[in-house]
Copies of this chain bind each other. A is one copy, B any other.
Amino acid sequence: KSDQGNDKSVSANPLFGFKTTTVLRESAREKNMFIHGKLNDQEAVIIMEKTPIREDTLLELFNCSRLKLEMSNDIYRTYQLQPPAHLNEIKTTVVCPATEKHVKKYLLQETYLVEESGDDYRSITLPYIQSQSFSVQWVYNILEKKAEAERIVFEDPDQAVGFVLLPDFKWDQKQLDDLYLIAIVHRRDIKSLRDLTVQHLPLLNNIRKKAEENILNKYGVAASKLRVYLHYQPSYYHLHVHFTALSFEAPGSGVERAHLLSDVIQNLELDSQYYHSRSLTFPLRSGDGLLSKFKEAGKL
């Protein structure tokens, strides 16, 4: 048996004495951890990730594990289960010697949730956006067909309610499971959700209707299979709408950053000033200049 210690390929422990400097990143959901430290006086990065549960090991898992009861309520019980060691390995990657670049690559920056009132937007966020003069030249290049023209899936050229629909960079278009398209509006005067009022309803309804029609025609994906949303904060300040496959947990589709287009439309129908006055919650990374502005203003 491979867990009895007589397997020749099991070496003396090469990680013995590893000294952790810091945990660069970890994911409780994915059960992995990226660790920076020293191995035999050399800089090293160790990446550990638990292995998936395998169906072909279930019989042994149920019959040969040790269990400890944690909780019992009605028909529900929870246990801590200790499986045979060879059924529960951790995939471990060692980078050694590691450079500064390896360390930075795996470092995750801390994220904070910020609650921005309408006044905060006008006194903190808007001046910051304007001072940064983030370039959206690449967006204009798309709208003017100076770049990526061949990637455009659909265009409504109307300058008031029109838009361009194209695949997001993150989608390789090889399978529909992670379908990801972006609609970019032709109008250049809407920075984000914050600028939307009832006057933009024709634009939003037009995007919704025509993009959904075209995604159905071109990809065979129905509206009931699409998550359609805006980001706040967006990653660039020119209004755009995200279309992702419902079955795909797209990065940025969490409730803390995404706003369903159907909700946005209804909110504007209810109150034209909804996004002008309302507090909006969003995450900011610790290195983000906007986070510093909120801290300076005593808002965090």
Interface residues on A, range: 35 or more
Residues of B contacting A148 in the complex (Cβ-Cβ under 8 angstroms): 71, 73
Complex Cα–Cα for A175 and B32 (A): 13
In the complex, per-residue mask of A25-46: 1 if CB is within 8 Å of any chain B CB, else 0: 0111111110100000000000
Would you list which residues of chain A between 241 and 300 have a CB under 8 Å from chain B?
A: 245-250, 253-256, 258-260, 262-263, 266, 270-271, 274, 278-279, 281, 283, 300
Taking a contact as CB atoms under 8 Å apart, the answer to whether B224 and A113 are in contact is yes
Residue A129 CB within 8 A of the other chain: no
Complex Cα–Cα for A225 and B111 (A): 7
Complex Cα–Cα for A59 and B16 (A): 9
Complex Cα–Cα for A47 and B229 (A): 32
Taking a contact as CB atoms under 8 Å apart, the answer to whether A26 and B177 are in contact is yes
Taking a contact as CB atoms under 8 Å apart, the answer to whether A31 and B11 are in contact is no
Which 3 pairs of residues, A with B, have the shortest CB-CB distance? Answer: A28-B178, A255-B258, A73-B147
A residues neighboring B (CB under 8 Å): 2-3, 5, 7, 9-11, 13-18, 20, 23, 26-33, 35, 48, 50-53, 55, 58-59, 61-63, 65-69, 71-83, 85-86, 88-98, 110-115, 137-138, 141-142, 147-148, 151, 169, 172, 175, 177-178, 223-227, 229, 245-250, 253-256, 258-260, 262-263, 266, 270-271, 274, 278-279, 281, 283, 300
